[in-house]
Copies of this chain bind each other. A is one copy, B any other.
Amino acid sequence: MPPMETMVDLATPVSQSLAQVIDVFDAEIRSELLFVNRLTDQVRRYRGKLLRPNLLLLAGESSGRITHDHIVLAAVVEMVHMATLVHDDVLDEADVRRRNPTINRLIGNEGAVLLGDFLISHAYHLCSSLGSTWASRRVAAVTNIVCEGELLQIENRGNFNLTEAEYLDIIRRKTAALTGLCCELGAAVSKASVDAVEHLSAYGSDLGMAFQIVDDLLDLTGTESETGKSVGRDADRGKMTLPLIRFMERAAPSERKRLIDVLSSADPRKNGQIREMLADSDCTAQALEAARGFIASAIEHLTVLNDSNAKSKLIAAAEFVLHRRA
């Protein structure tokens, strides 16, 4: 089953709310300037599976009723995510995103920086339309962490001795913090108990960890036609991901040296060479196994919830992360 359909299916209990999220999102970023609207039209094409709004709404639905605040916050987290995508593409010098040219490719890095700023500004504008500062404060606390994660990541470019603990710390900040927040916000707005909010937040965080490990795997082993975005960027940018870290830990000195040589080279066939080196090892399988561990932990956290359609969909969302190819 193609991934998009899987997620539409996931969204069933909240599909009506999801349509409202899209309306709120679009209304918020509409500008009186035509030029700006042309740019944000492009951003809307990157809208994928709406994973983060789905998580927020399902967490909300599993603990109570979906309210207007859920809708607004689901649009906010998607806007934050879109902003990070646009800025990530500047950082990665990527050309393709969700089968469309990236913003930096279309209008240059400068436009992409500003468009990301525009999205993040609107995310806070929308978030502060709510009655209290609580959600704004939580969202900003998490974007602080996301920025630190991204900064740590570029600080560690070309650090071929990155440990697994350091890698996990980076992805916890740059990815899992936001998916954890989605579930926290959804549950908290539904007035779930403190314990339930904590478990749902941990579910979202574990899911985010698995999501990023798989994302990094797809960059290494996927193709552009399969994933709909530029691949092999991590190796190009000297970014160590889990299969490579596991390989470095276990390989003989001569093999480690060979991998570092390949990673340090500017050879355009670099990604293919890395795949070949890893082919004889079980390092990509190990990375997938690590993702599977996070998903098992995520699902375990859901035992705090009573059975419901939304809970089943949260379980399915977690399992989907392991099987996605895009």
Residues of A within 8 A of B (CB): 31, 33, 35-36, 39, 87, 90-91, 107-111, 113-118, 120-122, 124-125, 127-133, 136-137, 139-141, 143-144, 146-148, 150-152, 154-155
Contact = CB atoms under 8 A, between A and B. Distances in A.
A152 B108 CA distance: 14
Nearest to A147: B118
B151 A114 contact: yes
B114 A140 contact: no
A35 B116 CA distance: 24
B140 A122 contact: yes
User: Residue among A36, A133, A139, A146 with the most chain B CB within 10 A?
Assistant: A133
Nearest to A107: B154
A147 B35 contact: no
23 contacts: A33-B148, A33-B151, A87-B117, A90-B113, A91-B114, A107-B154, A110-B154, A111-B151, A111-B154, A113-B116, A114-B150, A114-B154, A117-B150, A118-B151, A120-B121, A121-B143, A121-B144, A121-B147, A124-B143, A125-B140, A125-B141, A131-B133, A133-B136
Nearest to A132: B133
Q: Which 5 A-B pairs have the closest CB atoms?
A: A125-B140, A128-B136, A118-B147, A121-B143, A128-B137
A165 to B, nearest CB: 15
Given A39-B151, A141-B125, A151-B36, A90 B110 contact: yes
A262 B111 CA distance: 25
A115 B36 contact: no
Given A110-B90, A113-B91, A114-B91, A128 B140 contact: yes
A137 B147 contact: no
Contacts of A113: 87, 90-91, 113, 116
Contacts of A147: 114, 117-118, 121
A271 B10 CA distance: 59
Contacts of A39: 151
B118 A91 contact: no
Nearest to A108: B154
Given A90-B113, A117-B87, A136-B136, A125 B144 contact: yes
Given A128-B133, A133-B136, A147-B117, A109 B111 contact: no
Contact of A120 (B115, B117, B148): B117
Contacts of A117: 87, 116, 120, 143, 147, 150
B148 A118 contact: yes
A120 B152 CA distance: 18
A29 to B, nearest CB: 9
Contacts of A107: 154
Nearest to A118: B147
